[in-house]
Chain A
Amino acid sequence: MVLRLLAVLPFIGILLGVPFVNRVEPLVLGMPLVLAWIVLWVILSAIIMAIVYRFDPVNRTGARSTEEARS
């Protein structure tokens, strides 16, 4: 449940947060603030989902898939 709540954060950050950072200055890593805000949330999403993957019990069970498909 906590994991799902974590996953909601990027939705809030991007959809609801943007109106509050709709500015050019200050530039962050050379980018307008509003763009940098979105980039930040893209990176945070990856981190959050990595955490979710790591702690989700459903990923601990089950056989490891071994062979790669031959093509």
Chain B
Amino acid sequence: MSSALLIIAAVTLVALWLGVRARRGHDMNLEQWSVGGRSFGTAFVFLLMAGEIYTTFTFLGGSGFAYGKGAAAYYILSYGTLAYILSYWMLPPIWRYAKAHRLVSQPHFLASKYASPSLGVLVAIVDVVALVPYLVLQFKGLGIIVTTASYGAISPTAAIWIGAIVVTAYVTISGVRGSAWNSVMKDTMILAVVIFLGLYLPIHFYGGFSSMFHAIDSAKPGFLTFPAKGSSVTWFQSTVLLTALGFFMWPHTFGSIYTARDERIFRRNAAVLPLYQLILLFVFFVGFAATLKVPGLKGSNIDLSLFHLSLQTFDPWFIGVIGAAGVLTALVPGSMILNAAATLLANDVYRGGVARQAADSTVTQLARVLVPIIALVAVFFTLRGGETIVALLLMGYSFVTQLFPAIVTSLATRNWVTKQGAFAGIVAGVAVVAYTTLTHASIGQWFPSLPEKLKDLNIGLVALALNIVVLVVVSAVTQPRAAGHSHARTL
């Protein structure tokens, strides 16, 4: 058993123990379990929100994408920043409404704003669909870490199972509170590891950043800038916009809004959290350092680049440290995602749609039972494999961003959008994304005569545009008859 694996196992056990400990002294009813009783202060909300974005995606996916795709990775640095700017104005009204109406979830928010339980159910379903690839990528990351740290002793398949079991155990043991503590541990470790790797590896292999980038530019011209086709500037612009709008649409991120004590927290965070994004630079540097030193990783294996480069460079014990940080970056968000998916199905689909009178205890129990089931579904998809970590996340974003128009318009004092409009818009957007994902189609295939630039547009953004059009048209047609000045035309 390698020392790497021992270190990872030890850290994992500490994480589980912290989860159990955090739970003691609290009565775990439904509201506690999913939203932490609304008593978190600035520091915790900060950690919770920041912690959520530092997932396996950042650590392995970000470096993998830089290694495999070059400039395309720059989008990752851009979207969070723009999302935080939006959050300054968008989150406080959501928080106020949630507090006044004692909401516990995102579907609850929309169901309440539009007075439509079926809208709530639809939103919950879209959320769960979006969460699956997000969970899959966490499991994929865990699998990579465990296999690598065992120096090949544990097969990728076994590693994925182990990872899934650990996450499931962790969720079952504690709810949101456990995560906050482990978020602290995780963020400290990941910060230290990523900054160290991002500085050490380029200097060790190339002598400095300028030399590294010059070397890459000579060996692979055009790699560091956006190409004319494919991951082009248009792709970048549309993907950044899609993910910036979708950033707070994730049900667990949306849910963490409710945990703040005070709405000023969001405005403060809007100034501080963009800086946190800069850590991503170190992740990129690792990926770029690997570009010329770890040849031959292709397709979904680009996610292995950080570890392959580290294996070449460091002793097993340090691989263990890196692996432990990596496990936490998969465990903490993974547990939040699993938690969110289970709560959504139990509270918002089952109770919201099917059994309106269900008791809290029933819903809590159902959520606990669903956790291993959802984990199993995710394992199935993880084992099927094939997608890079970034591709998986973007898939999730394409779905979840479809909720943006309905949510944002509902914040206006006089919302012109009707529940039918919101419903239809979401369905239209999701349908486009689902169809293109299942058939592996792209805009270029559908409209071959489009100018080159438009073909690279992110499909999720195109779906969003359609979503908005449908939302507007259907809302116009379904305006309540009492409206004074009606622009609606009867058809």
B85 touches A68 (CB 8 A): no
B267 touches A71 (CB 8 A): no
A42 touches B237 (CB 8 A): no
From 1 to 60 in chain B, residues with beta carbon under 8 angstroms from any chain A beta carbon are 22, 39-44
- A9, closest chain B residue (CB): B85
Chain A residues with Cβ below 8 Å from B278 are 39, 42-43
- B86, closest chain A residue (CB): A7
Interface of B is mostly: helix
CA distance A43 to B208 in the complex (A): 23
From 228 to 248 in chain B, residues with beta carbon under 8 angstroms from any chain A beta carbon are 233, 236-237, 240-241
Which residue of B44, B88, B208, B212 contacts A69 across the interface (Cβ within 8 Å)?
B44
B281 at the interface (CB under 8 A from A): yes
B181 touches A71 (CB 8 A): yes
A45 touches B210 (CB 8 A): no
CA distance A42 to B213 in the complex (A): 21
A27 touches B274 (CB 8 A): no
Chain A residues with Cβ below 8 Å from B39 are 69
B237 touches A18 (CB 8 A): yes
Residues 1-24 of chain A: 1 if any B CB is under 8 Å from the residue's CB, otherwise 0? 000100100110011101100111
CA distance A43 to B240 in the complex (A): 17
Instruction: Please classify how large the interface on chain B is, using the bins under 10, 10 to 19, 20 to 34, 35 or more.
Output: 35 or more
Chain A residues with Cβ below 8 Å from B224 are 24, 32, 34-35
CA distance A59 to B89 in the complex (A): 12
B74 touches A38 (CB 8 A): yes
Q: A11-B82, A22-B233, A42-B275 are in contact. Are A65 and B261 (CB under 8 A)?
A: yes
B85 touches A22 (CB 8 A): no
CA distance A10 to B84 in the complex (A): 11
Which residue of A22, A24, A45 contacts B84 across the interface (Cβ within 8 Å)?
A45
- B259, closest chain A residue (CB): A69
Which residue of A4, A32, A65 contacts B262 across the interface (Cβ within 8 Å)?
A65
B226 at the interface (CB under 8 A from A): yes
Chain A residues with Cβ below 8 Å from B261 are 65, 69
Chain A residues with Cβ below 8 Å from B180 are 71
- B237, closest chain A residue (CB): A15
Q: A10-B85, A30-B208, A49-B85 are in contact. Are A71 and B22 (CB under 8 A)?
A: yes
Q: A27-B213, A49-B85, A71-B181 are in contact. Are A14 and B271 (CB under 8 A)?
A: no
User: What would be 5 A-B contacts, judged by CB atoms less than 8 Å apart?
Assistant: A27-B210, A32-B224, A42-B277, A45-B81, A56-B267
Residues on B close to A: CB < 8 A?
22, 39-44, 71, 74, 77-78, 81-82, 84-85, 88-89, 177, 180-181, 208-210, 212-214, 217, 224-226, 233, 236-237, 240-241, 261-262, 264, 267-268, 270-272, 274-275, 277-278, 281, 284
Residues on A close to B: CB < 8 A?
4, 7, 10-11, 14-16, 18-19, 22-24, 27, 29-32, 34-35, 38-39, 41-43, 45-46, 48-50, 52-53, 56, 58-59, 62, 65, 67-69, 71
Q: A23-B225, A35-B77 are in contact. List 7 more A-B contacts (CB 8 A).
A: A24-B213, A30-B208, A30-B213, A31-B209, A34-B224, A42-B277, A68-B43
